[in-house]
């Protein structure tokens, strides 16, 4: 049996920020992560860059909607990348921020260690026991076998709401009606590209891709080629595979998705080498260790944030994070991607109640599995925002522990004040 004050399941950007926030208040935090590093999708799924998280005030000043721990991560990551590689990630990919996931792994280990977070990699939460609305024990599975762990408070940052589901709190999957989630994507990197020639032929490449799709030669349902810069001139990041209508919380279906996506990578490599100027000598450098899930299981929380809340730029009294990323829905059924962009200066906030599974006493969630609708999740799922949600959850669990109250009884003005004092932007 292991014991701790606050157990965090999942070390993505949400879980990492949650652990840092709670441990910095002096609590004994155990962070359990299935893979071998912190960073979640950024590292395991090669997701890059950080999507934009700024707006402008009336005077034209830049406002950072994701601040606090996320800003610390970005600043320190820039420093680390510059120190080792002489590259400044801030100089590239503006307004989206391109970064090195390898230095991110090193940085997040260091930040966890400085804060006193206990880490347990290669470990999965596989079961949970509950008395009424209070989680009592978790079961961890790793090379040591099965181990019980008991904490006072728990935070589910697994992306799949795995802990909430295992403990029997209600969850939802996909959009209303057909239950379909946004598509999964296996990201990959291609080297050996002559970027000057490639850039000049960018629009021609898109036309060729569309024409080959129309002829049925390219099978990938994605409508165009989605790619981003990397810190290396000759390497391009592709976010362009698309697997639709697969259940992201079924092992069989995710396996099928991985296989389908890898064939799409092969198809893209042929396309690049045969049809795209600048890619004649392109080589496949890496595919992500895991296919990326934009959307999967989410909790039924004390509040459900909806598209209407976003479109009204709602600022909640218990708002603990702010966001203005567009409502970016990759078609769950096939081709097409819809966007709704927020006007300059406008943003919405995310209420603390979205982090609380209905009626839970000592469980919170953070990240892409909080209580939001399919459409609202399409906006607030980005990495900068999930980090701010994590910081809020870690801080709230710490305050609940200090006050000896349930997560539903946390003093909201105190939570917001504490977050602001720690650099968070709450609007």
Ligand X SMILES: Cc1cc2nc3c(=O)[nH]c(=O)nc-3n(C[C@H](O)[C@H](O)[C@H](O)COP(=O)(O)OP(=O)(O)OC[C@H]3O[C@@H](n4cnc5c(N)ncnc54)[C@H](O)[C@@H]3O)c2cc1C
Q: Is 365 in the site for ligand X (CB under 6 A)?
A: no
Give the Cα-Cα-Cα angle 392, 394, 398 (nearest 5 degrees): 115
What is the nearest approach in angstroms of ligand X to the Cβ of residue 108? Answer: 11
Q: Is 73 in the site for ligand X (CB under 6 A)?
A: no
Identify the residue among 272, 386, 397, 398 touching ligand X (CB under 6 A): 386
Identify the residue among 20, 157, 181, 327 touching ligand X (CB under 6 A): 157
**What is the rounded CA–CA span in Å between residue 184 and residue 249?**
12
Helix or strand holding residue 212 (H, E): helix 202-214
Identify the residue among 109, 124, 142, 337 touching ligand X (CB under 6 A): 124
Q: Which is nearer to ligand X, 23 or 125 (CB)?
A: 125
Identify the residue among 50, 169, 238, 342 touching ligand X (CB under 6 A): 50
Q: Is 160 in the site for ligand X (CB under 6 A)?
A: yes
Q: Is 158 in the site for ligand X (CB under 6 A)?
A: yes
Q: Which is nearer to ligand X, 194 or 300 (CB)?
A: 300
Helix or strand holding residue 120 (H, E): strand 118-120
47-55, 80-88, 193-201, 343-351 -> range binding ligand X (CB under 6 A): 47-55
Q: Which is nearer to ligand X, 23 or 201 (CB)?
A: 23
Q: Is 149 in the site for ligand X (CB under 6 A)?
A: no
**Nearest CA-CA partner of 21 in 426, 406, 423, 427:** 423
Q: Is 383 in the site for ligand X (CB under 6 A)?
A: yes
Identify the residue among 294, 297, 374, 416 touching ligand X (CB under 6 A): 294
What is the nearest approach in angstroms of ligand X to the Cβ of residue 9? Answer: 5
Give the Cα-Cα-Cα angle 192, 196, 202 (nearest 5 degrees): 95
The site for ligand X, by CB under 6 A, has a size of: 39
> Where in 304-363 is the site for ligand X (CB under 6 A)?
none
Task: Quote the crossing angle between the two packed helices 383-403 and 69-85, to the nearest 10°.
Answer: 130
Q: Is 396 in the site for ligand X (CB under 6 A)?
A: no
Return the number of other C-beta atoms located less than 10 Å from residue 214's C-beta. 9
> Where in 51-70 is the site for ligand X (CB under 6 A)?
51
Q: Is 10 in the site for ligand X (CB under 6 A)?
A: yes
Judged by the rule CB under 6 A, the positions of this chain that interact with ligand X are 9-15, 32-35, 40-42, 44-45, 47, 49-51, 124-125, 157-160, 162, 185, 187, 239, 292-294, 367-368, 381-383, 386
């Amino acid at each position: 049996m292991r014991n701790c004050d606050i157990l965090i399941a999942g070390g993505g950007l949400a879980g990492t920020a949650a652990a840092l926030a709670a441990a910095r208040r002096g609590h004994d935090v155990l962070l359990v992560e299935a893979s071998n590093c912190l960073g979640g999708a950024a590292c395991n799924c090669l997701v890059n860059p950080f999507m934009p998280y700024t707006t402008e005030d009336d005077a034209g000043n830049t406002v950072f909607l994701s601040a606090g721990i996320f800003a610390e991560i970005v600043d320190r990551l820039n420093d680390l990348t510059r120190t080792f590689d002489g590259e400044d990630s801030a100089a590239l990919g503006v307004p989206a921020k391109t970064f090195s996931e390898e230095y991110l792994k090193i940085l997040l280990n260091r930040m966890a260690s400085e804060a006193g977070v206990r880490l347990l990699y290669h470990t999965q939460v596989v079961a949970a026991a509950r008395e009424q609305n209070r989680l009592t024990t978790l079961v961890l599975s790793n090379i040591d076998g099965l181990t019980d762990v008991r904490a006072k408070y728990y935070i589910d940052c697994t992306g799949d709401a795995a802990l909430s589901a295992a403990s029997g709190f209600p969850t939802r999957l996909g959009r209303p009606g057909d239950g379909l989630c946004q598509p999964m994507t296996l990201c990959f990197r291609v080297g050996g590209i002559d970027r000057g020639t490639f850039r000049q032929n960018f629009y021609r490449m898109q036309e060729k891709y569309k024409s080959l799709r129309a002829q049925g030669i390219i099978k990938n349902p994605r409508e165009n080629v989605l790619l981003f810069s990397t810190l290396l001139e000759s390497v391009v990041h592709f976010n362009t595979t698309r697997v639709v209508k697969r259940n992201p919380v079924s092992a069989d279906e995710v396996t099928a998705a991985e296989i389908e996506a890898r064939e799409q990578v092969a198809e893209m490599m042929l396309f690049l080498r045969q049809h795209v100027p600048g890619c004649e000598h392109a080589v496949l450098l890496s595919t992500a260790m895991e296919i990326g899930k934009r959307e999967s299981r989410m909790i039924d929380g004390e509040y459900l944030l909806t598209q209407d809340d976003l479109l009204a730029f709602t600022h909640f009294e218990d708002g603990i994070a702010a966001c203005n990323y567009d409502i970016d829905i990759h078609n769950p059924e096939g081709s097409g991607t819809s966007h709704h962009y927020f006007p300059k200066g406008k943003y919405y906030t995310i209420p603390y109640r979205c982090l609380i599974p209905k009626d839970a006493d000592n469980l919170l969630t953070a990240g892409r599995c909080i209580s939001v609708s399919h459409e609202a999740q399409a906006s607030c799922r980005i990495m900068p925002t999930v980090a701010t949600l994590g910081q809020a959850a870690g801080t709230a669990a710490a305050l609940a522990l200090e006050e000896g109250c349930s997560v539903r009884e946390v003093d909201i003005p105190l939570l917001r004040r504490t977050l602001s004092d720690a650099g968070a932007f709450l609007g």
